[in-house]
Structure 1
């Protein structure tokens, strides 16, 4: 990876990516995805579930992006909470990684009862989900039905792959590696001009 963060010559300058990080051991891989996007010039905003913060601290993503991650909608000020939802209007692409069985089920059901599910339901751009879960959870007919419904709706899934899982077994459920995820989302971004709408008032960079 390049050592120059956000170089003016980077190919993704002007693009905005909203990254939703859910709770799972694979959350650490998202740091590499975010870092690469920023180095290529993209603006990256991170939202995290409470569970995700048990695997990667918000300060890590703040350091990588220059923006404070959103974790709990109710811990934000009123204007800032609205701003994070409005950020979905600016995003050229939304990445949910790792996408847990829980968030996939919520999205398929149209549930918006926390920050993560709310921003997904508010998405005004392509949404890419990178699943990571136990192989039995992935193979469960309920999960497969949810995935099929979301694909039919226009959501994009990358993975999961087969490999060793956090539970100690091997099977299909491992989140793709950062490079594999980037190989999907970068062409999706480059396929159309950036929205370049501008900055949402109330969403502070650091």
Structure 2
């Protein structure tokens, strides 16, 4: 099976990363989880560690092994990179090459040819904002494939596009992408 790097950013949908981690692990994939600091406010790293059976990376500057650089090693060992949920902030960081957290640092260090998926989850106005749409377009040019958000009643009370795609849809896109690789 594949080495999947699951990156989790700060969105209320971060709690769904637990189901995603569990399902990918049950399918036999090795899941390495990266979290932004904001993501840890919605779900604990311990939850994802228990489900993935792997250390969850939350600090790009924390190096357990002095003979390696963790974000580079993770990137080199990645068969598929998945950012779910993808917040507007994380999308902007990736689009502009920032690397100040494990999610953005690993994404920037990925070898050419590694499939990259992202599943946005945010308020409708944030998703439809021209800056976010421009960043998504840039990421598409960089080889990222967007798993479109769905229209739903959002946590903020608004109804519109911005809800994280259903887990089954994300899992199918992961499977399809790995088959194509």
Q: Same fold (TM over 0.5)?
A: yes
TM-score range, shorter chain: over 0.9
Q: Deviations over 1:53-83 (max 9, x none)?
A: 1111111111111111000122333538712
Match of 1:142 in 2: 131
Match of 2:85 in 1: 98
SS of corresponding position for 1:73: coil
Asked if 1:65 corresponds to 2:65, the answer is no
Asked if 1:122 corresponds to 2:133, the answer is no
Match of 1:21 in 2: 8
Asked if 1:153 corresponds to 2:142, the answer is yes
TM-score (norm 1): 0.82
Following superposition of structure 1 onto structure 2, how do residues 164-203 of structure 1 map, counting pairs within 5 Å?
164-192=153-181
SS of corresponding position for 1:34: helix
Match of 2:39 in 1: 52
Asked if 1:34 corresponds to 2:17, the answer is no
For structure 2, the 5+ residue unaligned runs are none
Q: Which residue, out of 145, 154, 163, partners 2:152? A: 163
Higher-Rg structure is: 1
Q: Deviations over 1:23-42 (max 9, x none)?
A: 11101111111111111111
- Select the structure that is richer in strand: 2
RMSD: 1.5
In structure 2, the CA distance between the partners of 1:81 and 1:98, relative to structure 1 (3 Å rule), is farther
Report if the CA contact (8 A) 1:100-1:131 is conserved: yes
SS of corresponding position for 1:67: coil
Q: Which residue, out of 74, 85, 88, partners 2:75? A: 88
Q: Deviations over 1:116-175 (max 9, x none)?
A: 211111122111010011100111111111111111221100011110111111011111
TM-score (norm 2): 0.93
> What is the CA–CA distance in structure 2 between the aligned matches of 1:27 and 1:159, rounded to whole Å?
16
> What is the CA–CA distance in structure 1 between the aligned matches of 2:25 and 2:98, rounded to whole Å?
30
* Paired residues, number: 179
> What is the CA–CA distance in structure 1 between the aligned matches of 2:45 and 2:67, rounded to whole Å?
16
For structure 1, the 5+ residue unaligned runs are 1-12, 193-206
Report if the CA contact (8 A) 1:163-1:173 is conserved: yes
